[in-house]
Structure 1
Amino acid sequence: MVAAGKLYSWAELAKHNTEEDCWVAIDGKVYDITKWLPIHPGGKNILLLSAGRDVTNLFESYHLVSDKPQALLEKYQVGVVSTLEHPKYVVKSKFYATLKERVRAHFKNTAQDPQSSVATLTRVALVILFQIAMYYVSVFTTTNFLVCCVLALLHGFAETMLAMHLMHDACHAALSHNPTVWKWLGYLFDMMSGASFYAWNHQHVVGHHLYTNVRGSDPDVGEAEFDFRIVTPYTPRLWFHKYQHIYAPILYGLYAFKTRVWDFDAFVRKFNGPIRVNDPQSGDLSFYLLGKLFFVVFRVVLPLAYHDFTKAAIYFVLSELVFGYWLTFTFQVSHIAGNLTFYGTPGKPEEPSEFDEDWAVSQMKTTQDYAHGCVLTNFLTGGLNHQVVHHLFPSIAQDYYPQLVPIVKDVCKQFNITYHIRDNFKDAFQSHIDHLYHMGNDPAFVQLPLSNKNTKKSN
């Protein structure tokens, strides 16, 4: 039950998104947390990322160990939110409450720290050293064309591991309890990859994770009426989409190029897809610019000093294709498949609807795992073959995902909720290709109407 108080629209809430004036909405209540910023145990950056928006499910999923934050919030309430920028999950099920209790008990009983371990820190250190080593070896140790091609592929693999094990964990505060560590690992990713950690946080943390498979809210499923592919029933099908199961996976390799070029949109237009981007801190902007400069110097200028232009261009493309394919295949197979749920919301300027569903249950419906029990797959995907556990508990280090699977399975059985699991990556990948085919060709997968009263779901 939302307490009475002054009413604020989402547009009014959005104006309070700075360090000097920081408001958030949680469960319909509006809180002025400006004074809490400097004393927040998780640091101010994650709160500034949340500023000016509804972060109900972010708050729920990132506070596993204690219920104390909920009690601390009350004294900061200034009103209630009256309109929605994005759809709201209005049901609070016993499923997630029970699951959180079980997971919390697991870490207490096993005396493990959910955000840190020797294995966690060792893994991150190794991928950083691997990236540096592969860059040096691929650029400076040989000019043999075939050897350089192989080394370029390995460098692309090293870039991918850096993203999977450093960038992804750091953006979710899943590496240590120290917010300074998360921030500087993010800056390090900017410098080593040339892609913006700050822009990624908006796309992934406050976009994709809060609104998984929601058209018009999840940046990963698109919102435009014209797109190179269609993955939800709420986008018009065009003639070329009948071939998307063939050309889309090929185009996925361009993802790395796209990311490094289009992240400027977050700093200029202040949007990442449908997600508003708050003003960056000075460090975010500085390391974004330095990252671009370092990328040009280390990936273009220095290689050209040791290799001719054509060969250097080939090595660059090979490396980036590996990076692009690896990331997109890993992410796409987890959410874009025919057995999963997609949600449609009314088109702007109509107000988004409410979901008559629990957020955690929606994560179970929109996400699938694969290759449980395979240590190699765990490492190569950064633990994201356990995507369900990751979405339910994003701030837990990936090293613990396999331990939590039996708990999630047990609670799902208790509440009669399906846990989507594929035997291996091949099956998961095939489910993605099948979905692309049906979306482009099957008459049953037609565009569904959108209502401004009820949010639609498609299974």
Structure 2
Amino acid sequence: MKPTLTSSIPGLAEFPARFDKIPTGDGWVEGRRKLDGAEGLWRIDDRLYDLTNFLNKHPGGSEWLTITKGTDITELFQSHHLTDKAEKLLPKFYIRDAVEPRPIPLTFDKNGFYKKFKERAVIALKDVDFHRPAFKSNLLADSLAIATLILCVITAMTESRLGLIIAGNMMAFTVIAAHNYFHMRDNFRMYYFDMCLMSSREWRITHAMSHHMYPNTIWDFEIMSLEPLLQYLPKIPATISRKISWLYSPIIYFVVFHSQGVKRYVEVFLVRQKFEFRDIVPFIIPTVMFYVTGNLSITVKYWMLIIAVASFVFHAIGLNGAHHHPEIFHDGDHPRNDLDWGLLELDTVRDRDVIDNNYFFNLTQYGHHSLHHLMPTVDHGYLHLCVPALTETCREFGINMVNFSPLELIKGQFRQLRRVKPRKNYL
């Protein structure tokens, strides 16, 4: 008998792919194809479109459409296109209405929260080219990448423990900054993400397509990939991990990059059997380290240690930064009656003033996280412009936005790992 897990969000279908023995991005997409009723095409709301002839014309690059063929892309379409230009093109590619109902109950009503916010956000961004990254973001991301390379080489030359800690932190900051770029149209800076052994392609699926669209639900890959060691959904009992995961979770932070790297190259060679440029990127740093030192064992040793430090910092920031706290919605809690997609996004994040008010922290520690979830393709350098639009829309819909301190979110993350009692105070 196959395991099941029912969502507390009415109408959100069970997702059998979350029980795959080895969760992968491609496995998540395949699970969507079985549920979405897209019939091998692209589904938006209750209509099917054939975008095959648009693949190489898509301004965001062909990869977004290639990966999502055969799935329902409603949430991606709405959140990745702020203006109505893409919507006006859709009739050219219309094939027929879908037969099966959508397995996702989230809405985008024209008078709902998200559509109202998006209208105001577009006005707030009218004086910038928000389809492209800000110069200061590019400068910071490039500086971080260069600094990481230099620090890794210095660490190998000096065999310094302090050096490897600094290099690991710098790599983590670079990778988080690169996350800003793989949400956007294809660009070379998104490959900075690959230097840590994890894959920017995989994360476009598991993070951008899964976590961002369905945060803290049974469809969220970033929730399911940590199970059973870390259980964030209150409806899953998991007696042992609930009691002691606070103790061993920091150890997990150290090894995720390595384990994801192993999984990545097993999949590249044995499953996809397709080697891309991004699959070479992780080996650029150790190649330079070896060229400078001429010592293979020293290179491998310090490269692996730097990766471990970077993994710890990356996950310490990511898992404690926005989504996990007993006062934040997790599937199993009682959801709002209004299933507007934007409201789900807000209910599953909390912003941090200390982080949002400093641009270095903003880009390297997932700043302005509510706005980033609502507009994932907008560069972090422009998100602050939309704060008044979000504030006004929240006021209109009676949404109380409460920020947490970084320390409160860290403490809350460990409390969430222990929580099994559902919350019932959403409206």
What's the TM-score once normalised by structure 1's chain length? 0.75
- d(CA) in 1 for partners of 2:241, 2:61: 47
Q: SS of the residue aligned with 1:211? A: coil
CA contact (8 A) 1:372 1:385 kept: no
Selected match of 1:205 from 194, 204, 208 = 208
Query: How has the CA–CA distance of structure 1 residues 87 and 249 changed in structure 2, closer, same or farther, with 3 Å as cutoff?
Result: farther
Q: SS of the residue aligned with 1:401? A: helix
CA contact (8 A) 1:91 1:356 kept: no
Q: Where does structure 1 lack aligned partners over 5 or more consecutive residues?
A: 1-8, 17-22, 174-178, 271-278, 346-354, 447-455
- d(CA) in 2 for partners of 1:237, 1:244: 10
In structure 2, the partner of 1:235 is: 236
Aligned residue type for 1:395 = T
In the TM superposition, what is the alpha-carbon distance from 1:193 to its structure 2 partner? 3.2
- d(CA) in 2 for partners of 1:304, 1:129: 18
Equivalences for 1:419-438 in 2 at 5 Å? Answer: 419-422=401-404, 424-438=405-419
Aligned residue type for 2:209 = V
Question: For the aligned residues, what is the CA RMSD?
Answer: 3.3
Q: Where does structure 2 lack aligned partners over 5 or more consecutive residues?
A: 1-31
In structure 1, the partner of 2:398 is: 416
In the TM superposition, what is the alpha-carbon distance from 1:91 to its structure 2 partner? 5.5
Query: How has the CA–CA distance of structure 1 residues 302 and 338 changed in structure 2, closer, same or farther, with 3 Å as cutoff?
Result: farther
- d(CA) in 2 for partners of 1:96, 1:356: 11
Greater share of strand: 1
Q: SS of the residue aligned with 1:89? A: coil
Deviations 1:340-359 (A, max 9, x none): 112259xxxxxxxxx96111
CA contact (8 A) 2:152 2:303 kept: no
Q: SS of the residue aligned with 1:30? A: strand
Query: How has the CA–CA distance of structure 1 residues 249 and 433 changed in structure 2, closer, same or farther, with 3 Å as cutoff?
Result: same
Q: SS of the residue aligned with 1:78? A: strand
Query: How has the CA–CA distance of structure 1 residues 316 and 106 changed in structure 2, closer, same or farther, with 3 Å as cutoff?
Result: same
**1:68 paired to 2:85:** yes
In structure 2, the partner of 1:453 is: none
- d(CA) in 2 for partners of 1:264, 1:106: 43
Equivalences for 1:164-313 in 2 at 5 Å? Answer: 164-166=176-178, 168-173=179-184, 179=185, 182-187=186-191, 189-190=193-194, 192-215=195-218, 217-222=219-224, 227-264=228-265, 267=268, 285-291=275-281, 294=284, 297=287, 305-306=294-295, 313=301
Aligned residue type for 1:290 = I
In the TM superposition, what is the alpha-carbon distance from 1:307 to its structure 2 partner? 8.0
- d(CA) in 2 for partners of 1:62, 1:233: 30
CA contact (8 A) 2:324 2:416 kept: yes
In the TM superposition, what is the alpha-carbon distance from 1:102 to its structure 2 partner? 1.1
Selected match of 2:76 from 36, 58, 69 = 58
In the TM superposition, what is the alpha-carbon distance from 1:199 to its structure 2 partner? 1.2
Q: Identity over the aligned pairs, expressed in percent?
A: 21
In structure 2, the partner of 1:152 is: 164
Aligned residue type for 1:287 = F
CA contact (8 A) 2:362 2:380 kept: no
**1:77 paired to 2:89:** no
- d(CA) in 2 for partners of 1:26, 1:457: 32
Deviations 1:49-86 (A, max 9, x none): 3322111111111111x212112101211123344785
CA contact (8 A) 2:45 2:102 kept: no
In structure 2, the partner of 1:112 is: 128
Aligned residue type for 2:213 = L
In structure 2, the partner of 1:137 is: 154
In structure 1, the partner of 2:174 is: 162
Aligned residue type for 1:112 = V
- d(CA) in 2 for partners of 1:344, 1:55: 25
**1:319 paired to 2:306:** yes
CA contact (8 A) 1:342 1:457 kept: no
In the TM superposition, what is the alpha-carbon distance from 1:157 to its structure 2 partner? 1.4
In the TM superposition, what is the alpha-carbon distance from 1:153 to its structure 2 partner? 0.9
CA contact (8 A) 2:167 2:306 kept: yes
In the TM superposition, what is the alpha-carbon distance from 1:198 to its structure 2 partner? 1.1
**1:101 paired to 2:119:** yes
Query: How has the CA–CA distance of structure 1 residues 117 and 377 changed in structure 2, closer, same or farther, with 3 Å as cutoff?
Result: closer
**1:45 paired to 2:63:** yes
In the TM superposition, what is the alpha-carbon distance from 1:265 to its structure 2 partner? 6.2
Q: SS of the residue aligned with 1:343? A: coil
**1:336 paired to 2:324:** yes
Query: How has the CA–CA distance of structure 1 residues 303 and 389 changed in structure 2, closer, same or farther, with 3 Å as cutoff?
Result: same
- d(CA) in 1 for partners of 2:323, 2:60: 29
In the TM superposition, what is the alpha-carbon distance from 1:251 to its structure 2 partner? 2.1
Deviations 1:214-258 (A, max 9, x none): 11x11111179x601211023232334211222223322222222
In structure 2, the partner of 1:350 is: none
- d(CA) in 2 for partners of 1:138, 1:41: 41
Query: How has the CA–CA distance of structure 1 residues 265 and 390 changed in structure 2, closer, same or farther, with 3 Å as cutoff?
Result: farther
**1:404 paired to 2:392:** no
Query: How has the CA–CA distance of structure 1 residues 376 and 105 changed in structure 2, closer, same or farther, with 3 Å as cutoff?
Result: closer
- d(CA) in 2 for partners of 1:373, 1:227: 31
Aligned residue type for 2:128 = Q
- d(CA) in 2 for partners of 1:95, 1:308: 56
In structure 2, the partner of 1:89 is: 106
